Structure 1
Amino acid sequence: METQRKGLAFWLLTAFFALFVLFLYGPMIAVFILSFQGPSGGMTFPMRGVSLHWFTDLFSSTRYGDLGDAFWRSIALSLLVMLITVVVSFFAGLGFRRRFWGSGALFYLAIVSLVMPGILTGLGIGTIFQSLGLRTSWLVSGLGAHLSWTLPFGLLIMFAVLNRFNGSWEEAARDAGARPGQVLWMVTLPIVFPGLIAVALFGLTLSYDEYPRSLLTVGTRNTLPIHIANLTANVTTPALYAIGTLTTLLSLLVIALSFGAISLATRKRK
C-alpha cells in the first residue's frame, strides 16, 4: 500500500512538473514555430509552409517603423545600465561588508523600488522631469528608471556573494605585501567574478526587456519593447513572432556567453 502511494505521488508530481514546463515554455515554443510561417501564413496554426519570409520582411519592409533604431537604442541603453549596475553593485557590496551607522536604512532604501510598480516609478520620474522643465530621454530619465530596477537585484546578488567570501584570502595577500589596489584586483575581483557575471546578466536582460519603467521616461525615441508593443496595434503578421524569436535567440546567446565566461574564470582559478 505504501509503495502504491509513493508511486501515485511520483506520477502526480511528474504530471505537475510537465504541465508547469508546458505552461512556462509552451508560448515561447509556439512563437518560435509560427515565426517560420510561409508567406501566406497567419499568426495561428496550422502552418502554411515553412520559410524565412517574415525574418527577411523585418529588414526589407518599411511598415515596421524604426525597428532597427529601437533595437540598437535598447542595446546601447542595456549595456550602459549593465556597466553601471556592475560597478555600483560591486563597490556597494564591498562597502556593506562592514557595519556603519545607517547601513540598515540605506539597504532598505536601495531595494525599496523592487516593491514599487514599474509604471508608477516611471510616472514619478516623468513627473519630476516635467516639473523641472526637462525633457525625458532614453539616455537620461530612461537610464535612471532602468537603474531603479536593476541596481536592487545587483546589490542583492553581491551581498549574497560577499556573504560567503572568506576574508582570510585578502589578509594573506596583505601579509605578503600586496597593496590595497593589488588585493582588490588580484584577489577579491577574481574570486567574486562569477557573481559579477550574474549581476551583469541581470542588468542587461532586465533593462533590455523593460517596458513599464520605459513607457513614460524614454521620451519620443522608443526602446524595443515599447516599439514592439506599438506594432501589435497595427501589425498582424508572423513578423511579430520573428521579432520575438530573434530577441529570444539574442538572450540565449548572452546567457551562453555568460556561462562561458564563468567557466573560463573557474578554470583560471584552478
Structure 2
Amino acid sequence: MNKRGFWPLALVFALYVLFLYGPVITIFVLSFQGPQGGLTFPMRGASLHWYHELFKGLGVVDIGAAIQRSLGLGLVVMMLTVLFSLMAGLAFRKGFKGSSVLFYSSVASLIMPSIIISLGIGLQFRLFDTFIKGLLEAGGFTATLESYTTLMGLYTSGLGAHLTWTLPFGMLIMFAVFNRFNPAYEEAARDLGATPWQTLRHVVLPLIGPSLVGVGMFGFTLSWDEIARSSQAIGDVNTLPLELQGLTTTVTTPAIYALGSMTTLVSLFVILCALSAAGLMRRRAQARQAAS
C-alpha cells in the first residue's frame, strides 16, 4: 500500500482506538484525583485517596459482598459455559434429528433484547413460586409455606439468565473449532487401541485446550459485566454491575471512578490469564507434536 493510502487509514484506526478506549482511560485517570477532586477535568491533585475511600465503603452499599457475588457467579458461569459448549461441540460433530431446531433455539437469545429475556426469566420463576406455594398449601405444610420465599436467586434464575448470554458465544466458538479439527488424530489414537474416553482426554482436549480457555474467558467476562439480563432475574441481591449502576445516581465523587477502574482491572486480569494459559497450552501441544 502506498503512503498516500496508508495515512488516512491509520488516522481512522487511531480515532477508532481513541473512541473505544478513551472513556476507560479518562475514568482511570480521574480516579487518581486528590481529596478535592470532582467528576470532570481539570484534575485537582493526584493521590490514591478515592481508592482508600472505596475500600471504606460507599454508603449503605457493601462493595466487598457485591464483588464476591459477581466473582462467584462469574466462575460458575465460566465452568458451565465451557462444559456445555464442549458437549455441544462434540454432539454437533455428528448429525442428529432435530439438530437444526436445537441450534437455532440455542442462539436465538443473542437476537432478543436482554431486558425481555430478564423479564421472561423473572416471570417464569414467579410462576414456579406460585406453583410451589400451591403445592405446600394443598399438602398442609404450613411451617414450610410460611418460611418459603422464592426460587429466584443468584445461582438459580441469575445463573440461567447469564447462561442465555454466554452459552451461544461458547457454542459458536466450539462449532468453529471442531469444524477445523482434523479427525485423523482421533483415527490414529483408535488405531493404537485408545478408548473413546482416552481419545478425548489425551488427544482432543489437549488440541482444543486453548479454545476452551477462550470460551471460559468469554463466559467470565460476559457474566462479570452483565446488567440487563441480571436486572429482573437476580432476586433480592445485586451483582457488582447492578450496584455500580445504582451508585451512579447517588455517588458524586471520583470514588465511583475508582470502583469502575477496579472492575476493569479484574476483567483485564482474567483476559491476561486466559491468553497466557492458551499460549502455554499451544506451546505444549506443538512441543508434543514435534517430539512425536
Residues in 2 aligned to 1:28 and 1:62: alpha-carbon distance in whole angstroms: 21
Aligned to 1:15: 11
Other-structure match for 1:73: 69
Task: Indicate whether 1:109 and 2:109 are aligned.
Answer: no
Q: Which amino acid aligns with 1:22?
A: L
Q: What does 1:52-201 correspond to in 2, within 5 Å?
A: 52-63=48-59, 65-133=61-129, 134-201=150-217
| Aligned match of 2:133 | none
Q: Secondary structure at the match of 1:31?
A: helix
Tell me, what secondary structure is at the counterpart of 2:20? helix
Task: Give the residue type in structure 1 aligned to 2:163.
Answer: L
Distance in 2, Cα, partners of 1:182 & 1:129: 41
TM-fit CA distance, 1:62? 4.8
Match of 2:36 in 1: 40
How far apart are the structure 2 equivalents of 1:83 and 1:150? 11
Please give the alpha-carbon distance, in whole angstroms, between the structure 2 residues aligned to 1:97 and 1:64.
51
Q: Which runs of no fewer than 5 residues in structure 1 stay unpaired? A: none
Per the alignment, residue 136 of structure 2 pairs with none
> What is the DSSP-based 3-state SS (H/G/I as helix, E as strand, rest coil) of the residue aligned with 1:132?
helix
Residue in 1 aligned with 2:224?
208
| Secondary structure at 2:52 match in 1 | helix
Residue 235, structure 1, aligned to residue 251, structure 2 = yes
Structure 2 unaligned residues grouped into runs of 5+:
130-149, 288-292
The CA deviation at 1:7 is: 4.0
CA distance in 1, matches of 2:217, 2:247: 27
The one-letter amino acid of 1:165's match is F
- 1:34-84 CA-partner distances (Å, limit 9, x unpaired): 000101100111111110011111111351511111111000001000100
The equivalent residue for 2:24 is 28
Structure 2 counterpart of 1:163, one-letter code: N
What fraction of aligned residue pairs are identical, expressed as a percent?
Answer: 53
How many angstroms does 1:260 deviate by?
Answer: 1.0
Q: Partner of 1:261 in structure 2? A: 277
Aligned residue identity for 1:199: V
CA apart distance, 1:105:
1.3
CA RMSD of aligned residues (A): 1.3
Aligned position for 2:135: none
2:132 alignment partner in structure 1:
none
Whichever residue aligns with residue 230 of structure 1, its letter is G
TM-score (norm 1): 0.96
CA distance in 2, matches of 1:153, 1:62: 35
Q: Distance in 1 between matches of 2:232 and 2:261?
A: 26
Aligned mates of 1:205, 1:62 — CA distance in 2:
24
